[in-house]
Chain A
Amino acid sequence: MIESKDIKKMVQHILRRDKGIADTQIMHPTREWFTGLAITLGMVVLGSWFCYYLYSFHHNEMKKEVVIIEQAVPYQAATVKSALEVFATKQEKYNEILGGGMNDIPVSVATTTTPVEVSATSTEEIPELIVDPAPIFEDDGTPIEATLTP
């Protein structure tokens, strides 16, 4: 028959088993040595990676070529050329006038017309047009008179 004393013993046994054996040793030289080694190795790896990154960064910066942005000089050669041509033409004309090689003022050329006979189509008498004096086609400033006789 299980008594209450036995049950207590069993419970105490179980509780002691959960607590485990208390570690009375403060330092574990081997474990901490390897922990230190692992941390050091990690730091070395991280440092190496960081140094390599820095090296690559600056090496790439060095390899980059300097971009030279050259400002274009605004020189309108075509405009200059055409302007010089215009003034060269003016100079020629100027010299031509001074050299007396220029023609006189252009005069409009008069055109002559030949009279055309027109046959009368009406039975009524057509008034005769008499121009006195005869017209001069080149404008000489002389007024022209015309009279209409029946």
Chain B
Amino acid sequence: MNKKSHTFLIVATICFLVSASVFLYALYEVNKQGVRYAESKKLIGEQTAKEASYNTVQSLLESTRDDRAQIKSLFIEEDDTISFISEIEKNTGIVGVALTTNELSIMPSTTDTNGVTSPALLLVGFDFSGSQNAVWQYLTLLENIPYHKQMTQISFVKSDNNLWKANVKMQLTLRYD
């Protein structure tokens, strides 16, 4: 091999190595950009899904505004406790019973081991007496108080002179925001 051929072989080898390097680098860049593109596309998809969910929730909140306001009004607030008791006592005059409030306390919100939170409760107890009809009407009134509640105890006793005495205990669910 003469000197010229030797030089030519070296130049050809260098050219081949450079071309191969450029080709491999281009391949690496293409793959890298492809992976980046796939990740970006996935991210855009997730963002679009989140945006769609947000819009759905937003429209749902908008469409259920009245319902939520009504449901909110079905739960008594802690600050309204006194006015609630006052209203209950005021109603005794309308129905015609004598009422005594024998219990008024708040059971705080609790969370069980499963992470389920029970709302705070307003515990109230009433003793009231009157005619059979009045007691029945007042009991019906208590039963239909437009608040979310549970009547835990009801008892009646008929005493002398056709006077009926009743005892009612209730648990009203307190509102929490």
Contacts and interface: CB of A to CB of B under 8 A. Distances in A.
A33 interface: no
B71 A94 contact: no
Contacts of B1: 27
Contacts of A61: 34, 37-38, 41
A90 B145 contact: yes
B116 interface: no
Interface stretch (A7-15, A16-24, A97-105, A111-119): A97-105
B132 A105 contact: yes
Given A61-B38, A73-B56, A75-B60, A93 B140 contact: yes
Contact of B133 (A47, A62, A81, A105): A105
Nearest to A99: B94
> What's the interface size class on A, roughly?
20 to 34
B74 interface: yes
B141 A84 contact: no
Interface stretch (B45-53, B78-86, B99-107, B117-125): B45-53
Contacts of B132: 105
Interface in B100-150: 132-133, 136-137, 140-141, 143-146
Interface of A: 27, 47, 54, 57-58, 61-62, 64, 66-71, 73, 75, 80-81, 83-84, 87, 90-91, 93-94, 97-98, 100, 102, 104-105
7 contacts: A58-B30, A61-B41, A90-B146, A94-B141, A97-B94, A97-B141, A105-B136
